[in-house]
Chains A and B, each alone.
Chain A
Amino acid sequence: QVQLVESGGGVVQPGRSLRLSCAASGFTFGYYSVHWVRQAPGKGLEWVGVVSSNGNDKTYADSVKGRFTIARDNSKNTVDLQMNSLGPEDTAVYFCTRGSIVGTKRPLDYWGQGTLVTVSS
């Protein structure tokens, strides 16, 4: 079955960096885009960014542009979210989600369980 498993969350000081990873299985990983979505404690869902199926195209929310970078390794079925210059506003559960096959537009149909990032001194 389709699985997405995030790792790498934890407590980090403001201004520091953290890298999250997402390991995928149960589907042809290289066919699908992968999105990151976050949810601050007690708040709604916020779309963070996406990497295309081949890794060449990436788009980010304005709130993280220039600080966050998404990269994928289709040989390992993994996606990383590199987060730099973290601030308290980045405190959230970060979800890795499956997007669309190239040429299609589909909702986020599979989600990982999420990993909590807490930015605090």
Chain B
Amino acid sequence: DIQMTQSPSSLSASVGDRVTITCRASQGISNFLAWYQQKPGKVPNVLIYDASTLQSGVPSRFSGSGSGTDFTLTISSLQPEDAATYYCQKYDSVPRTFGQGTKVEIK
């Protein structure tokens, strides 16, 4: 099975900072990669799909890039409401493995 590895596992940044989270697949998955945001006590929400397509209603400060095995989620200017845990997930085939998550805290 393909493994998904996210880094870092956590980060702390200030409002206005540019934040980058990476996700690496152990084998190529083309662009079948989604990013989810989960706030404490809430259900995960899709931010990005097809590696770089912004889900409707998601602020434009979020962007995704990559293809094959290496992917990136970028928050261009971190806002207080972005404090959450972010997960990548492959959906090229089953199992639809998630990354282990990246917790983003606001300094």
What residues make up the interface of A, taking CB atoms closer than 8 Å to B?
35, 37, 44-47, 50, 59, 61-62, 95, 100, 105-109, 111-114
CB < 8 Å neighbour of A47 from B49, B85, B95: B95
Tell whether B52 is near chain A: CB-to-CB under 8 Å: no
Expressed in whole angstroms, the Cα–Cα distance for A113 and B41 within the complex equals: 10
Given known contacts A45-B87, A111-B44, A113-B43, is B49 in contact with A106 (CB within 8 Å)?
yes
30 A-B contacts (beta carbon < 8 Å): A37-B98, A44-B85, A44-B87, A44-B98, A45-B36, A45-B44, A45-B87, A45-B98, A45-B101, A46-B98, A47-B89, A47-B96, A50-B94, A50-B96, A61-B95, A62-B1, A95-B43, A105-B91, A105-B92, A107-B36, A107-B46, A108-B34, A108-B36, A108-B44, A108-B89, A108-B91, A111-B43, A111-B45, A112-B43, A113-B43
Tell whether B97 is near chain A: CB-to-CB under 8 Å: yes
Residue of B nearest to A109 (CB): B46
Scan residues 15-68 of chain B and give those whose CB is less than 8 A from a CB of chain A: 32, 34, 36, 38, 43-46, 49, 55
Expressed in whole angstroms, the Cα–Cα distance for A11 and B7 within the complex equals: 35
Contacts of B49 in A (CB 8 A): 106-107, 109
Contacts of A95 in B (CB 8 A): 43-44
What residues make up the interface of B, taking CB atoms closer than 8 Å to A?
1, 32, 34, 36, 38, 43-46, 49, 55, 85, 87, 89, 91-92, 94-101
Contact call A35/B101, Cβ cutoff below 8 A = no
Expressed in whole angstroms, the Cα–Cα distance for A111 and B37 within the complex equals: 12
Contacts of B44 in A (CB 8 A): 45, 95, 108, 111
Expressed in whole angstroms, the Cα–Cα distance for A69 and B1 within the complex equals: 20
Contact call B94/A59, Cβ cutoff below 8 A = yes
Contacts of B45 in A (CB 8 A): 111
Contact call A107/B87, Cβ cutoff below 8 A = no
Expressed in whole angstroms, the Cα–Cα distance for A114 and B34 within the complex equals: 20
Contacts of A106 in B (CB 8 A): 49, 91
Contact call A47/B97, Cβ cutoff below 8 A = yes
